[in-house]
């Protein structure tokens, strides 16, 4: 037996099986330099993003980016399977004296490893020694187990993705597309639903906790894009956090407790995910003229507001805790960023209908 080749095969198999276990089975982040899937996903995403930015525009670019995450799952399966073949091929090469016929080279050993892992059973190569037979059985079990785990992983990813996106899509009916905090607050004022804001914030606090748990445990989820145009879970989260920040710093008469809890939960989500990717933000990115415009729109909507200068300074400090990191994540994933104030934002149809009806109502 070639001991050096056998040890090399064991090392390869240990690395790939540990990577599969930590990526698919362990429901929490598993940092480590040996994580093969982490390097593969990040490097291929950079290439995919580079191609999309230079060859496509508009909706075609977004559709191109949307292909990446499902393709990455398939790519991981192929890479893991290839490494299994390599690892078991090295083992069979070390045990070639126990195979009939004896493999002429490493390529023949890799072929036998592939047929064992895929349970093809052609019978043109047979393991006769006890150790070689054991290795061939382990190879077959590993191949079947890997495919089963990846299929389960894919279903888990899509379940988490659907839970994330259902609330994002619902928000577009209140905050427009792309979603905006100003549009969200205006819609609630027009519909006489200001008292519902704490309940909305509570729902998004729970959503942030679920997304944090799933996206830190399975980072590939962040690469899955929304199926709707001009919407991303990052921009939706930003709109809600901006609305919370406005309630905490500018708007008076609206309960602030739940807004504070939601803002904390959302900022925690953004911080943890950006730290996982090694990203940093650079502050609020909102100038005073934009805030003044928002202030006037909220006043026109009927909100009671605090002093504009004091509100501006409080808002700038509060928004700096999450806005920069949100922008960094949106840049990394080439996703729609948070819209702070956009005059062209698509208004929610229900709010628009109420507004039109009130405009047509004769004065008292």
Instruction: Examine residue 167 and state whether it is found in any structural domain, yes or no.
Output: no
| Per-residue pLDDT reduced to its tens digit, 64-87 | 999 999 999 999 999 999 999 999
Return all residues near 113 (Cβ < 8 A) that are at least 6 apart: 84, 85, 86, 87, 88, 89, 91, 92, 139
Asked if residue 165 lies in contact with residue 233, where contact means CB atoms within 8 angstroms, the answer is yes
| Per-residue pLDDT reduced to its tens digit, 112-122 | 999 999 888 77
Q: Could you tell me which of 185, 203, 183, 201 has the C-alpha nearest to residue 193? A: 185
- C-alpha pair distances (Å), 141 with each of 87, 110, 117: 14, 17, 7
Q: What is the pLDDT of residue 361?
A: 39
Residues 107 and 193 in one domain: no
Residues 206 and 140 in one domain: no
pTM tops 0.95, yes or no: no
Q: What is the pLDDT of residue 310?
A: 94
Instruction: Examine residue 158 and state whether it is found in any structural domain, yes or no.
Output: no
Instruction: Examine residue 132 and state whether it is found in any structural domain, yes or no.
Output: yes
Residues 124 and 198 in one domain: no
Return all residues near 284 (Cβ < 8 A) that are at least 6 apart: 316, 319, 320, 323, 324
Distance CA 15, CA 84 (A): 10
pLDDT over threshold 80, residue 46: yes
User: 350 pLDDT band (50/70/90 cuts)?
Assistant: very low
User: 177 pLDDT band (50/70/90 cuts)?
Assistant: confident
Q: What is the pLDDT of residue 175?
A: 87
Strands (E), the chain: 99-100, 126-127, 251-252, 304-305
Residue that is last in its domain, among 103, 136, 151: 151
Residues 349 and 277 in one domain: yes
Number of domains in the chain: 2
Return all residues near 331 (Cβ < 8 A) that are at least 6 apart: 337
Instruction: Examine residue 161 and state whether it is found in any structural domain, yes or no.
Output: no
Q: What is the pLDDT of residue 29?
A: 66
Residues 131 and 218 in one domain: no
Residues 80 and 188 in one domain: no
Instruction: Examine residue 184 and state whether it is found in any structural domain, yes or no.
Output: yes
Distance CA 15, CA 36 (A): 8
Q: Could you tell me which of 277, 286, 291, 288 has the C-alpha nearest to residue 325? A: 277
The percent of residues above 90 in pLDDT, for the chain, comes to 56
Residues 218 and 115 in one domain: no
Residue that is last in its domain, among 105, 136, 151: 151
Per DSSP, 224 falls in state P
Return all residues near 339 (Cβ < 8 A) that are at least 6 apart: 178, 179, 180, 235, 238, 239, 345
Q: What average pLDDT score do residues 92-96 get?
A: 90
Q: Could you tell me which of 6, 93, 77, 71 has the C-alpha nearest to residue 36? A: 77
Q: Could you tell me which of 20, 94, 105, 65 has the C-alpha nearest to residue 225? A: 65
CATH number at residue 44: 1.10.287.70
The chain-wide mean pLDDT, for the chain, equals 86
| Higher per-residue pLDDT: 284 or 212 | 212
| Per-residue pLDDT reduced to its tens digit, 260-303 | 999 999 999 999 999 888 888 776 667 888 899 999 999 999 99
Task: Indicate the range of 9-13, 57-61, 177-181, 216-220 predicted with least confidence.
Answer: 57-61
Instruction: Examine residue 247 and state whether it is found in any structural domain, yes or no.
Output: yes
Residues 207 and 356 in one domain: yes
Its domain, for residue 54, covers 3-151
Residues 309 and 205 in one domain: yes
Q: What is the pLDDT of residue 349?
A: 40
Instruction: Examine residue 171 and state whether it is found in any structural domain, yes or no.
Output: no
Residues 201 and 324 in one domain: yes
Q: How far apart are the first and last CA of the chain?
A: 98
Instruction: Examine residue 159 and state whether it is found in any structural domain, yes or no.
Output: no
């Amino acid at each position: 037996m070639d001991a050096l080749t056998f040890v090399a095969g064991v090392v390869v198999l240990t690395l790939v099986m540990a990577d599969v276990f930590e990526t698919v089975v362990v429901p929490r982040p598993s940092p480590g330099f040996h994580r093969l899937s982490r390097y593969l996903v990040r490097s291929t995403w950079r290439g995919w993003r580079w191609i999309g930015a230079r060859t496509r525009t508009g909706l075609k670019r977004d559709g191109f980016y949307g292909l990446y995450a499902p393709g990455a799952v398939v790519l991981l399966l192929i890479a893991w399977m290839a490494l299994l073949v390599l690892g078991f091929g090295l083992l069979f090469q070390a045990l070639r004296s126990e195979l009939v016929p004896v493999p002429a080279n490493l390529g023949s050993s890799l072929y036998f490893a592939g047929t064992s892992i895929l349970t093809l059973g052609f019978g043109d190569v047979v393991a006769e020694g006890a150790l070689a037979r054991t290795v061939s059985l382990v190879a077959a079990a590993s191949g079947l187990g890997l495919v089963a785990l990846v299929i389960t992983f894919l279903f888990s990813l899509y379940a988490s993705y659907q839970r994330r996106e259902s609330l994002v899509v619902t928000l577009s009916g209140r905050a427009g597309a792309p979603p905006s905090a100003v549009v969200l607050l205006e819609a609630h004022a027009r519909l006489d639903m200001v008292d519902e804001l704490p309940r909305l914030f509570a729902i998004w606090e729970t959503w942030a906790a679920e997304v944090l748990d799933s996206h830190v445990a399975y980072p590939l989820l962040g690469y899955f894009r929304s199926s709707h145009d001009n919407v991303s879970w990052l921009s939706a989260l930003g709109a809600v956090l901006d609305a919370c920040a406005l309630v905490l710093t500018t708007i008076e008469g609206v309960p602030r407790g739940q807004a504070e809890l939601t803002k904390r939960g959302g900022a925690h989500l953004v911080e943890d995910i950006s730290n996982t990717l090694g990203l940093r933000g650079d502050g609020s990115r909102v100038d005073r003229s934009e805030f003044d415009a928002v202030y006037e729109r909220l006043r026109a909507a009927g909100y009671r507001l605090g002093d504009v200068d004091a509100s501006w300074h409080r808002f700038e400090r509060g928004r700096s805790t999450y806005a920069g990191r949100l922008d960094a994540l949106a840049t990394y994933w080439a996703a729609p960023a948070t819209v702070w104030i956009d005059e062209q934002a698509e208004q929610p149809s229900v709010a628009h209908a109420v507004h039109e009806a009130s405009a047509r109502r004769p004065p008292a």
